[in-house]
Structure 1
Amino acid sequence: MIRVLLVDDQHLVRMGLRMLCDAAPDLEIVAEAEDGRAAVRLAAEHVPDVILMDLRMPGVDGITATRRIMAERPSSRVVVLTTFDDDDHLYPALSAGAFGFLVKDSPPRELLRSIRMAAEGDAPYSRAVLARLVDRAVHARTDHAPADIPGLSPREQQVLRLVGEGLTNPEIAERLHLGVTTVKTHVAGLMRKTGCPNRIRLAVLATRTGATD
């Protein structure tokens, strides 16, 4: 069972999310918070697997709450769920330690899948958000340019290309006719071989090296 903490200052939004999650047999809402201060307290009390975090809330906002939660429990998986997907919200949230970033108009099926992805350690991002992150990273100056990629197998090259295109593990599995577990193994191996600490960096690497061409 995946334990979820809902954080949003709007009661109707929390009610809708609870109804959606309650209908899924593998999800359990362990608590709800209407502001960031309560989110920090409830995260420590219930130790949820996934925290769905709104950003704009009175008092302690979602970015501050995420930063405090990550400081207390670095393994927490905070998935931002917000109406605002502009850079002024996206990058501060990621800097605070957000594990994923979704917009509130995401289809219910995508939201449920994203919660499961986060619980399994696969960072969920809305497709448009991932594309912007990769584009900005590719064009930004950085002192941490990736090193040459060691020899990759043909299958690893395929997986790397699809990660660069923004596909999720289930989507890659379907495209390549593989099991999701096999894809996860390939992605973990790619991160290890390339030194990329997360999926975003791996997608950037795929773009920079032309793997997505």
Structure 2
Amino acid sequence: MPDPINIIICDDQDIVREGLKTILEADSDIRVIATAEDGEDLFRQIESSGIPDMVIMDLKMPVINGIQATRMLRSRHPNTKVLVLTTYDDDQWVMDAIRAGASGYLLKDTPRIDLIDAIKGTLQGQTFVDPSVAGKMLAMAAGTIPRPVESSAPDIRPREKQILLLIARGMSNADIAAELYLSEGTVRNYASALFNRIGVTDRTQAAIAALRYGIISLDDI
């Protein structure tokens, strides 16, 4: 039996911390080893409970906010992933969190099953971004990432373009499968083949590359 995923929840609201703890621990693959009320408390909890595999991080907190805590955490414990879970979807919060080292950005109205999928997927190297902020993040990121070395876009078939577009909208493999009437395994295979052809390793990079190549446009998102 694989080891459980060790998580610390960092949020300044008691009800959120306790609610998330209950939700996450209902999954046998996840263990909440501590909760913290702000960034300063997070590092106290790490000292007493150990280094987690992941921190579920709120952003707007007193003392040390989520952006500062993410930056400090990634510097001190680079193997620990940060998944932002917040109510804020404005441009500055999104980009500051990603630049600080967050591996994903979800809003607090994310369904339980999607949150669990994001936690497990993030630890496997995937990137999860809430659909409502995906377009903003990609618009800003696309302007800062160099165009791929290849002068022309890879040959992308219509079905693959559909999947790339839905990835750029922040949809999970399960959501894409339902949208296109495919199995989740088929979508996963399409995505893996696309990543190899475009030369990227995760969903966010794939979406940005698709924008840079002109395969999709921001208006599509």
TM-score (norm 2): 0.79
Distance across 1 between alignment mates of 2:200 and 2:153: 11
Residue 92 (structure 2) aligns with: 88
Superimposed CA distance per residue, residues 160-203 of structure 1 (whole angstroms, 9 cap, x where no aligned partner): 343234322223344362444x6445434433432335422311
Aligned pairs, how many? 210
Distance across 1 between alignment mates of 2:158 and 2:42: 45
Gapped regions of structure 2 (runs ≥ 5): none
1:30 and 2:21 correspond: no
Cα drift, residue 71 of structure 1:
1.2
Cα drift, residue 25 of structure 1:
2.6
Cα drift, residue 99 of structure 1:
0.4
Percentage of matched positions with identical amino acids? 35
Distance across 1 between alignment mates of 2:193 and 2:78: 23
RMSD: 2.8
**1:162 alignment partner, SS class:** helix
**Contact 2:126-2:202 at 8 Å conserved across structures:** no
**1:167 alignment partner, SS class:** coil
Distance across 1 between alignment mates of 2:140 and 2:46: 32
Residue 70 (structure 2) aligns with: 66
Distance across 2 between alignment mates of 1:197 and 1:120: 11
Residue 15 (structure 1) aligns with: 18
Residue 126 (structure 2) aligns with: 122
TM-score (norm 1): 0.81
Distance across 2 between alignment mates of 1:66 and 1:76: 10
Superimposed CA distance per residue, residues 102-149 of structure 1 (whole angstroms, 9 cap, x where no aligned partner): 1122233332332232233221211111122223445x3x46123433
Residue 149 (structure 1) aligns with: 153
Summarize the Cα distance change of 1:11–1:202 in structure 2 as closer, same or farther, 3 Å threshold. Answer: same
Equivalent in 190, 202, 212 of residue 206 of structure 2: 202
